[in-house]
Amino acid sequence: MQLTWIAGLLLFVQPVNISESLSVTHQGQTIASVNHADITLPLLDVPIMDVDKYNQFVEKIDRQVYQKPVDATIDKQGNILPGRVGYKLYHQAFKEQFYSFLYSSKAYKLEVPLLAIHPKVDSELLAEIHEKKIGEYRTYFNVNNKNRTNNISLATEAINNYVVFPGEVFSFNQAVGKRSVNKGYMLARVIVKGEFSEGIVGGICQVSSTLFNAIDNAGLQTIQRYSHTRSVPYVPPGRDATVSWYGPDFSFKNTYNQPILIRATTQGGMVSIMVYSSDMINYKTRKVPAASNQKSKEQIYRS
């Protein structure tokens, strides 16, 4: 019905001499081009845009120009490294210029209009929420187990500098992502249905368990947590948090009035996770049992 109405309206419009093609440029380089015949419907003597073909054309351009924003971070020396603004296609401005091409009688070149995407975490925010430590926890591991050490380091790095805003829920699986060989994870001892076996995620649960105790010490609200089917040596009984990409997750909610910052590091056989926020936070800590710094035989020789 809408197409019929538009076609009827166009009967009163004088036909135009359309140009042959549109060149789309980005930073001075041509990234796409299209002919009128490729993007219009063969009706009447005036161009009518084929919406499906236009959307496909725009999606292709959007993928080419998209730049993901980068959050500010804190390095190992405590220095704040600024973030970086990202960019995406400005769809409305592009459509307006595209219509100009559609009814133009001469060659047309269009520089892609962009919208800035500001990082969620900038330097000013990091400086503010790195003021006050509200929780911490440490666990220990055997550095001679190279594969397990590697996995622990990768998972720790994945949650380091993570900011959780008021009311937000943090998911360990979402933050760390799928653990795979392509990401550098290695085979190490894991517990499956109460038995030890080799798995690509060996060591990951020590990081999630350390995080659970750190956020519990900070008084934050645990949303989802599961224990292993047998005891683990790196935390006291009942203080672990098992995770699996296709199974259980560990998650918590920031119930405070300020964002919280997770700082996670590994050094010399120790996983250290600290929770920070601003001086304006209203919080209440919880006492949690400390992990033993004595590595058990299970941890040294079989983990």
Res. 200 pLDDT band, cuts 50 70 90: very low
Higher pLDDT, 35 or 81: 81
Q: What angle do CA 253, 259, 265 make, to 5 degrees?
A: 85
pLDDT at residue 106 greater than cutoff 90: no
> Where do the DSSP E strands lie in the chain?
21-26, 29-35, 40-41, 48-49, 73-74, 80-81, 86-89, 108-111, 114-117, 132-140, 162-164, 169-171, 188-192, 195-199, 221-224, 251-253, 260-267, 270-277
What per-residue confidence (pLDDT) applies to 199?
44
pLDDT at residue 258 greater than cutoff 70: yes
What per-residue confidence (pLDDT) applies to 11?
38
What per-residue confidence (pLDDT) applies to 152?
95
Mean pLDDT of all residues belonging to the chain? 85
What per-residue confidence (pLDDT) applies to 46?
66
pLDDT at residue 297 greater than cutoff 60: no
Higher pLDDT, 156 or 45: 156
Average pLDDT over residues 192-215: 73
Is the whole model's pTM more than 0.85, yes or no? Answer: no
DSSP secondary structure, 41-56, as one string: E--SSS-EE-HHHHHH
Res. 188 pLDDT band, cuts 50 70 90: low
Q: What percent of the chain has pLDDT over 90?
A: 60
Q: Which residue has the tokens 């919406």?
A: 51
What per-residue confidence (pLDDT) applies to 40?
77
d(CA 54, CA 41): 11
What per-residue confidence (pLDDT) applies to 242?
93
Out of 101-105, 140-144, 192-196, give the one with best mean pLDDT: 140-144
Residue 133 · residue 229 · CB < 8 Å: no
What per-residue confidence (pLDDT) applies to 189?
57
What per-residue confidence (pLDDT) applies to 1?
46
What per-residue confidence (pLDDT) applies to 41?
78
Res. 117 pLDDT band, cuts 50 70 90: very high
CB atoms within 10 A of CB 45: 11
d(CA 239, CA 90): 49
Average pLDDT over residues 207-225: 97
Measure CA of the first residue to CA of the last residue in the chain; give whole Å.
Answer: 69
pLDDT digits (tens, 9 = 90+) for 119-137: 999 999 999 999 899 999 9
pLDDT digits (tens, 9 = 90+) for 69-98: 999 999 988 899 999 999 999 999 999 988
For residue 97, give every residue at least 6 positions away whose Cβ sits within 8 Å of its Cβ, in sequence order, or none.
110, 113
pLDDT at residue 61 greater than cutoff 70: yes
Average pLDDT over residues 237-264: 95
